[in-house]
Amino acid sequence: MSGDLGTIIDFRARLAPGSGALERQLRAMDVAGIDRAVVSAGGVLDPDTLARQAIEGHYSTADAGNDAVATACAKFPERLVPTFFANPHREPENYRDRAGSFRGLELSPAVHGLALTDDRNLALVEAAEEVGHAVYIVCLGRAGATPRDLVVLAAMFPKVVFVLGHCGFIGIDFPALRTVAASANIVAETSGCYTAVARAAVEHLGDDRVLFGTEVPLQDPSVELAKMRALDLDPAAWSRVMWRNADRLIPSG
């Protein structure tokens, strides 16, 4: 597809902590032509630590800056959609009591180290189900947090939509897509994966189960937009992947 990109919703954006982060986020969206972004807290761990944890299996009990995300998004509600980055090492009420101020839930085995079906994560997903939130998860290559574990979790909560972040653990994770394909309540988000994997996501899951994302500020949105253009989707598929599917998953605030 070429020409006017139309409406775009970025389903994977991070709001980094620190002065000027909100302005940089909005500027990056403006430059890329992104209308709205689903935002969760960034900077819970530095990238080096996060990468080591994801690979080696360590974990953190650190909290994310959810209050800062909610405050920033409230200033620009037509452009920014807040997601709660849960810490399962805390009581689920930490999320449940504030869920009304957010529009989705993120769980991160790479950060907090727990198996997806750990009781503490199950309590958070139960709370998400109550308020109609989708649950974003980046799977890992270790037991308890693999795409197969996500399939098990999704079967336990058939009314919840789960988002397979980055189309899997690594950029070339074709097996992850095949693993989740039969689970109708799992969709895939495309930031960070290879173009061939994004194409496979559309082929294996269908264009109604794929979401565009950027992982800004770690990734330049123009890179992810170029990847999606390379898929040469027809206009109907493009609109579903680039905004309609995301819009369907964002409950009214």
The pLDDT profile of the chain, 253 residues, written as one tens digit per residue, is 334 578 999 999 999 888 899 999 999 999 999 999 999 999 999 999 999 999 888 899 999 999 999 999 999 999 999 999 999 999 999 999 999 999 999 999 999 999 999 999 999 999 999 999 999 999 999 999 999 999 999 999 999 999 999 999 999 999 999 999 999 999 999 999 999 999 999 999 999 999 999 999 999 999 999 999 999 999 999 999 999 999 999 976 5
Q: Which two tokens stand for residue 150?
A: 């996500």
Residue 252 has φ and ψ, to the nearest 5°, of: -65, 140
Q: For position 138, what pLDDT does the model report?
A: 97
- Nearest alpha-carbon partner for 136 in 69, 78, 190: 190
Q: For position 57, what pLDDT does the model report?
A: 87
Residue 182 burial (10 A CB sphere; 0-12, 13-18, 19+): exposed
Read off the amino acid at residue 135. Answer: V
Contact between 22 and 72 (Cβ < 8 Å): yes
Q: For position 2, what pLDDT does the model report?
A: 39
How far is residue 121's CA from residue 114's CA, in Å, rounded to a whole number? 8
How far is residue 132's CA from residue 135's CA, in Å, rounded to a whole number? 10
pLDDT per position as a tens digit, 55-113: 888 899 999 999 999 999 999 999 999 999 999 999 999 999 999 999 999 999 999 99
Contact between 85 and 64 (Cβ < 8 Å): yes
Domains of the chain, first to last? 9-249 (3.20.20.140)
Q: For position 6, what pLDDT does the model report?
A: 87
